[in-house]
Amino acid sequence: MLKKTLLSIALLINLPLNALELKGNLIQGGMVTGSIPKAQSVKLNGQAIKLGKQGLFVFGFGRDAKLSHELSWTDNKGSTHTQSFIITKRDYKIDKIEGVAKKYVSPPKSVLARTKKEAQEVRNARSVLSNRVDFLEPVYRPATGRISGVYGSQRYFNGTPKRPHFGLDIANKTGTQVYSPLPGKVVFANSDLYYSGGTLIIDHGFGITSTYIHLSEVTAKLGQEIKTGDKIAKIGATGRVTGPHLDWRLNWQQVRLDPELVMNHLSASKFTNK
Ligand SMILES: [Zn+2]
């Protein structure tokens, strides 16, 4: 069972001299949190990443991320340390989807300006780098339903190869309640984007955001503070879909992560009586 194995991978490196600790999934699509108590700055592969109190940081790996990485940091005495590590490669599924409306497979020129503008707005929302630390909280499943799509799959719409799928799809009927899987603050809410329909983005801090798309209703409001289990939206079939489902995504700024890897609670039933 690949899924079970992935979920159980948790890595802990304790280096007595440097006190580096990493937790999470060292795998393509994985999110990793860490801390280096005395660090003054931290870089992943030479790029500075956000550093919080007690040397807290988070990063993640995209679908096709290279396998070897290097973390480096400067301590309070000005010395630089480096730690190399390797992440696990994944194989992705091929998904052939038929019956997608033509206007989504080859969009008319007239919608180009709209889709470009919407893509930029979504990028901006995913670029927030707040001091929130919600990403350290347990993550619950946001809705009940059948898992109908997974992270990373290569998609063909009506036979035409398209970008890979980055979300976890949960299929259920239109109007099914969507609950917030973890705390955060709403940074984007729009009921009608061309490709993603009703779209909600929640900031969890340090560049980690989660995205909910194809919604029939976006009930959470821009700027709203969200607690775990809050009602945020309803499942729908808006945008480029062939049926009603929630497409739930996790991002580290523009890097697409696999929400299934961070989900520690596999049932949404905790919320259904609220
Ligand atoms: Zn999807």
For position 78, what pLDDT does the model report? 93
For position 18, what pLDDT does the model report? 53
137 Cα: distance to centroid of ligand 1 (angstroms): 24
Token pair recorded at residue 119 = 């893509």
170 Cα: distance to centroid of ligand 1 (angstroms): 8
Examine the pLDDT at 103 and tell me if it is beyond 90: no
47 Cα: distance to centroid of ligand 1 (angstroms): 31
For position 223, what pLDDT does the model report? 98
Average pLDDT over residues 8-25: 59
For position 120, what pLDDT does the model report? 97
For position 1, what pLDDT does the model report? 37
104 Cα: distance to centroid of ligand 1 (angstroms): 14
Average pLDDT over residues 178-203: 97
For position 59, what pLDDT does the model report? 98
What does pLDDT average to over the chain?
90
60 Cα: distance to centroid of ligand 1 (angstroms): 20
Strand ranges, E, within the chain: 21-24, 31-35, 41-44, 47-49, 56-60, 68-74, 80-86, 94-97, 146-149, 154-157, 160-161, 168-171, 177-179, 184-193, 197-205, 208-218, 225-226, 231-235, 245-252, 255-257
241 Cα: distance to centroid of ligand 1 (angstroms): 8
46 Cα: distance to centroid of ligand 1 (angstroms): 33
Among 101-105, 123-127, 173-177, 189-193, whose mean pLDDT is lowest?
Answer: 101-105
User: Percentage of residues in the chain with pLDDT exceeding 90?
Assistant: 76
pTM comes to 0.90
Task: Report in angstroms the alpha-carbon separations of 254 from 166, 208, 251.
Answer: 12, 9, 6
Average pLDDT over residues 234-260: 96
228 — pLDDT class (breaks 50, 70, 90): very high
